[in-house]
Amino acid sequence: MKTTLKREITSGRILDAAYRAIAARGWGAVTLREIAEESEVALSQLSYYFGNKDGLFAAVLERMQREYAENLAAKLRNATSFQERLERLIDYNRLLLKENADLYRNFLEFFNFAMASPEFKKQVTAFLAGIARAIEEQITQKQKSNQKLASFSSSAITHFILSASFGISLQHLLTPKNKDVEAGFDLIKTALGIVFSADAKDATRIS
């Protein structure tokens, strides 16, 4: 018991330090010595627990993915309508950006890194596809007749929300003070809301 506890404590501290270091200076610029110092652990411990630098990188990514997915699932749990789910997805992304900007910062880092590494590319792609699918699954049953969005698949709409959220976040990270950037989240809602209200004339409920 204590063994695993110790293991988790140490490796967890390393992961935390790595997470913070990546957000602060970028993965390429971060050194293992830096992470070791910040986590108050000997350098050799990093090799011991994660093998090599790529292994540590992958571990950080994996934990980020898991946390994001779990939190998102919790947010969506008792949401009924598709529109409500979309709204919560958007709100979730917005909340993360405000209260956990490092997460987005690191996601960007990983995305960026993935483009040069086929292995990570596969992982990041699978992650995105997983989120998209989770949202999409609850669309098909709800969205039946929609004039304005008829030409767009549910997958396209989902990907659009993800894309836009991420783009907004990216810009927000660069210019956190610009309120017009953050307004993009509202714009997604308004735009899609209008779109969806096309076939909801009879039931115009505002959640």
Partner DNA sequence: AAATAAATCGGACGTTCGTACTAGTTTGAG
Partner DNA sequence: CTCAAACTAGTACGAACGTCCGATTTATTT
Which spans of this chain sit near DNA (rule: CB under 7 A)? 1-4, 6-7, 9-10, 30-34, 41-49, 51-54
Task: Determine contact, residues 175/123, Cβ cutoff 8 Å.
Answer: no
- Closest among 30, 28, 52 to 39, alpha carbons compared: 30
CB nearer to DNA: give 33 or 133: 33
Residue 92 contacts which entry, a copy of itself, DNA, none (Cβ below 5-8 A, type-dependent): none
Residue 204 contacts which entry, DNA, a copy of itself, none (Cβ below 5-8 A, type-dependent): none
138 binds a copy of itself (CB under 8 A): no
Window of 1-9, 11-19, 71-79, 144-152 that interacts with a copy of itself by CB under 8 A: 144-152
Tokens of 116: 């040069």
Tokens of 11: 């490796």
Return d(Cα 172, Cα 114) in angstroms, integer: 22
Return d(Cα 146, Cα 196) in angstroms, integer: 7
Collapsing DSSP to helix, strand or coil, 68 comes out as helix
Window of 11-19, 24-32, 44-52, 77-85 that interacts with a copy of itself by CB under 8 A: 24-32
- Closest among 93, 114, 115, 117 to 167, alpha carbons compared: 93
DSSP state of 178: -
- Binding residues for a copy of itself, rule: CB under 8 A, are 24-29, 105, 108-109, 111-116, 121, 124-125, 128-129, 148-149, 151-153, 155-157, 159-160, 162-168, 170-171, 173-175, 178, 180-181, 183-184, 186-188, 190-192, 194-195
